[in-house]
Structure 1
Amino acid sequence: MNIFLIIGGTLSAIVAILHVGCIYFGASWYRFFGAGEEMAVLAERGSIQPTIITSGIVLVLSIWSLYAFSAAGVIVRLPLIRLALTLITAIYLTRGVLGLFLVNYPMGRSPEFWVWSSLICLSFGVIHLIGLKQLWSTL
């Protein structure tokens, strides 16, 4: 068992659950978590668009969680695990770094959203990277 990938999988699962909360609780959660005023207004108006977008994020984060748990030995081994974990790690790290460049160009979100979400993504990426490095030869 690899503790770093267990932590990484748990963190992805928690964020997926928080996104489900946005779908369920609506505009106030979209605002609180920095999804932008446009998403919040669409949710208030009963638009299906925020639900579709957020459901896609939930699906991706859930799959990422399963891959981390799989590599950690918590669940059955999933196909293409080395490739999947490499891509997941790269995406978290890339999102973390690139998001910091958007602080001055927030595109409908607050600068604080970009700072916090980038730091979160960077930390998730580092956790995955450590776990991936530890298990590389066995994947």
Structure 2
Amino acid sequence: MLSAGAQALVVGAALSATAAMAHLACILIGAPAYRFMGAGERMARAAEAGRLRPTLVTLVITMILLLWSVYALSGAGVIGPLPLIRLVLVLACAVYLVRAIAFPFLKPAFPENSNTFWWISSGICGLIGLAYAYGTLSLWQTL
């Protein structure tokens, strides 16, 4: 049976992987998915025009989310130990939590993103960040 901290990291890993798959769906589906996810009309139009930038940006985000998911599974003991586990988990946690609370400051830089996008994505980031924080702090001595 996994400890509560390990369970939190498994939940964080699952949520990170789900977010990564949602990003991949945007690439596969294209502009309608970018619009549905609230990425803004500029990204949707760029995807419609066949520009590479939306795909590259989305792929980078996807890769980071998947990496964090794998590290969370490692921290939970589900897979073998990975190098720099504490550092990566702390960074992932920090990025998720900062993204969750900093959206009022980020919003002006991305004016085409909908309010729904900001509230939902920030809430999800906060939830994932808290799962990573609880799991990492609970398992700190074993990481």
- TM-score of the pair, normalised by structure 2: 0.92
What stretches of structure 1 of length at least 5 have no aligned partner? none
Q: Which residue of 1 aligns with 2:12?
A: 8
For 1:62 and 1:102, locate their aligned partners in 2 and report how far apart those are by CA, in whole Å. Answer: 23
1:17-71: CA deviation from partner (whole Å, max 9, x where unpaired): 1111100000000000011100100111111111111010111001000000000
Structure 2 residue 96 is matched with structure 1 residue 96: no
For 1:36 and 1:109, locate their aligned partners in 2 and report how far apart those are by CA, in whole Å. Answer: 5
What amino acid maps onto 1:30 in structure 2? Y
What amino acid maps onto 2:95 in structure 1? I
For 2:94 and 2:102, locate their aligned partners in 1 and report how far apart those are by CA, in whole Å. Answer: 12
For 2:13 and 2:43, locate their aligned partners in 1 and report how far apart those are by CA, in whole Å. Answer: 27
CA RMSD of aligned residues (A): 1.2
What stretches of structure 2 of length at least 5 have no aligned partner? none
What does 1:1-139 align with in structure 2 at a 5 Å threshold?
A: 1=2, 2-102=6-106, 105=108, 107-139=111-143
For 2:53 and 2:105, locate their aligned partners in 1 and report how far apart those are by CA, in whole Å. Answer: 27
Larger displacement relative to structure 2 (44-53 or 25-34)? 44-53
Distance 1:61 1:8, change over 3 A: same
What is the total number of aligned residue pairs between the two structures? Answer: 138
1:81-125: CA deviation from partner (whole Å, max 9, x where unpaired): 01110111011000100014455x352211221111111111111
For 1:12 and 1:43, locate their aligned partners in 2 and report how far apart those are by CA, in whole Å. Answer: 24
What amino acid maps onto 1:113 in structure 2? F
What amino acid maps onto 1:86 in structure 2? V
For 2:123 and 2:76, locate their aligned partners in 1 and report how far apart those are by CA, in whole Å. Answer: 24
The structure with higher relative contact order (CA 8 Å, sep 6+) is 2
- TM-score of the pair, normalised by structure 1: 0.94
Overall identity of the aligned pairs, in % = 46
